Structure 1
Amino acid sequence: MAVLGFCVASPPRLSWKAFGTNRLSTRVHRSYRRRIALVRAEVNFVNADEAKRLVSEEGYTILDVRDKTQYERAHIKSSHHVPLFIENQDNDLGTIVKRTVHNNFSGLFFGLPFTKLNPDFVRTIKEKFSDDSKLLIVCQEGLRSAAAANKLEVAGYRNLSCITSGLQSAKPGSFESEGSTELQNAGKAGLVTIQGKISAVLGTVLICAFLFITFFPEQAEKILQMSPSS
């Protein structure tokens, strides 16, 4: 009589040596991820004087991430311009409504263009600069430069610096610039600037009137008593 035999394969045994190797590999991987996290946290925020030193002594390249209008008003000579935000010319209904509201308020009073995030920002930077490039990122108020640094940090850049509070905090003459105005004033536009000039003129007129009434009260009284009929 034939006897059928069944062979049941036992599961492979994991040696303590292999188990220890796997645990070591896991610890190394976690340690590596922690080091990467620490490296990615290194964005250097400096004032305008320190920024100038980074450019002149340590070979940092200036990357201007402001919009086109502010860059054209004033920018640091030899800087590279890659805007973080670009003008939004989309023609869907929602964008048209938002653009109309913006242009009638923020655009009119503050001279701010209606913009959106530049979808090609990181790609353009990578085409211009290698990952080990030293970049000094500048904007007008310091917010866009910090956001741009965060994007570039995630993309693999490590040598990044930003000017705290932006170019508006730079003293006149801190950097050699080009444009129709000073670097610190490049963000000022719209009716706000005109209103400021009008307010200055009115203030001067009122001060002169006050001084005239104070030192020449009789003449002032005669002028106030004059009527068009006379």
Structure 2
Amino acid sequence: MAGAATAARLSGGLHTLGSIKPENSVGSASSGSALLPKTVPAVARNTFLQGAQGLPGPALQRPALPSKSQRHAVRSQAQSIEERIKEGIQVENKLKAQVSDGRVIPLNSKDAGYAVQLSDYILLDVRPSFEHDRAWVKNSIWIPMYEVDKHTSPGSLVKQVGHLINGGLWDGTRYLTANERFMPDLVKQIRDKNANVLVVCQKGLRSLAACEAMRKAGYKNLYWLSGGFDAADDADFEKVGPKPFKYAGVGGPSELFGWTDVQRREAKNDPSTRWSNLGKLAAVIVAIDLLFLGGQQLNFLVQHAPK
């Protein structure tokens, strides 16, 4: 008896379910409409039904591909960057060829110091002002080959901002432009073109550029501080200024964290310097976190302050 009653209840339930028609149905139950609950959105419901009935669904929108002109612009920019890199390498090799073929004689720091202090060699410093003012040699002649660009024209401002974005802000350098007064000031201060002139800069490349310009102007006895002041020892010269020669070309956050070329070379030989730089970095990260948390707390107090 119990089994018969259960069967009757199941039969009645199935009959009831069969009599229910889904809302917004399209086609018969065989098309799949009866499988959709009422809560399915209309767009999804119609897509499902179209697929069940073998009809094409709504077309998927593909992301727009870059136009031919856009692709050409990207390729042109990449080629331009590559060409500038190649030109820079060619210029550097050309300048260094002056040393390899004997037109400019290289001197290390110690020999250069002897030449300036014990003989009649003239030391010509061609660094920009922000490097020269940190450390310079007593009785040297300072004529910058390049100087900080102080122009305010739109083109100059764009170049200055671009230099800061591309690393100038990190290493504390400024955008430089050629000093138009370099050769007139040079001829005025070093009249004898047979004089022994030792040309120096911070890393060695700009001084080679100065040597090339001086050779074209008729100067015959040119010497070059190999590696620039980055490779110089303070004890080899009569130094004037607040910083060591090696640190005259560093600045910005890179100097604070010890991430300049000079500082990293020194850190290899001094583990304490390496740990000190890591400690500075950790301290800055903690300070930024504290400022962030303090700002959040202040914002919370302001929002919930009694009015």
Q: Distance in 2 between matches of 1:204 and 1:114?
A: 27
Structure 1 residue ranges without an equivalent (≥5): 1-39, 206-230
Identity of aligned residues (%): 29
In structure 2, the CA distance between the partners of 1:204 and 1:95, relative to structure 1 (3 Å rule), is closer
**Cα offset, 1:61, TM superposition:** 0.9
In structure 2, the CA distance between the partners of 1:203 and 1:69, relative to structure 1 (3 Å rule), is closer
What count of residue pairs does the alignment treat as equivalent?
A: 168
**Cα offset, 1:62, TM superposition:** 0.8
- Corresponding position of 2:119: 58
Q: Distance in 2 between matches of 1:114 and 1:201?
A: 29
Matched, 1:192 2:254: yes
Ranked by relative contact order (alpha carbons within 8 Å, sequence separation 6 or more), the top structure is 1
- Corresponding position of 1:112: 173
In structure 2, the CA distance between the partners of 1:91 and 1:199, relative to structure 1 (3 Å rule), is same
Q: Distance in 1 between matches of 2:156 and 2:115?
A: 41
- Corresponding position of 1:49: 110
**Cα offset, 1:119, TM superposition:** 1.1
Q: Distance in 1 between matches of 2:281 and 2:133?
A: 32
Structure showing the higher helix proportion among its residues:
2
The structure that has the greater radius of gyration is 2
**Cα offset, 1:114, TM superposition:** 1.2
TM-score normalised to structure 1 length: 0.67
Tell me the SS of whatever aligns to 1:113: coil
Output one character per residue of 1:185-228: Cα deviation in whole Å (capped at 9) or x when no partner: 111111101122896252898xxxxxxxxxxxxxxxxxxxxxxx
Equivalent residue letter for 1:160 = L
Task: Check whether the contact 2:116–2:122 (CA below 8 A) recurs between aligned residues.
Answer: yes
TM-score normalised to structure 2 length: 0.51
Tell me the SS of whatever aligns to 1:156: coil
Task: Check whether the contact 2:257–2:278 (CA below 8 A) recurs between aligned residues.
Answer: no
Bigger mean CA deviation after superposition, 166-175 or 49-58: 49-58
Matched, 1:92 2:169: no
Bigger mean CA deviation after superposition, 192-201 or 50-59: 192-201
Matched, 1:163 2:225: yes
Task: Check whether the contact 2:257–2:280 (CA below 8 A) recurs between aligned residues.
Answer: no
Output one character per residue of 1:161-188: Cα deviation in whole Å (capped at 9) or x when no partner: 0111001111231111111110111111
Output one character per residue of 1:112-138: Cα deviation in whole Å (capped at 9) or x when no partner: 111101111111100111212221111
Structure 2 residue ranges without an equivalent (≥5): 1-100, 259-273, 283-307
Q: Distance in 2 between matches of 1:151 and 1:193?
A: 32
Q: Distance in 2 between matches of 1:166 and 1:187?
A: 10
Q: Distance in 1 between matches of 2:213 and 2:277?
A: 42
Matched, 1:176 2:204: no
RMSD: 2.6
**Cα offset, 1:106, TM superposition:** 2.5
- Corresponding position of 1:202: 279
In structure 2, the CA distance between the partners of 1:125 and 1:192, relative to structure 1 (3 Å rule), is same
Equivalent residue letter for 1:74 = A
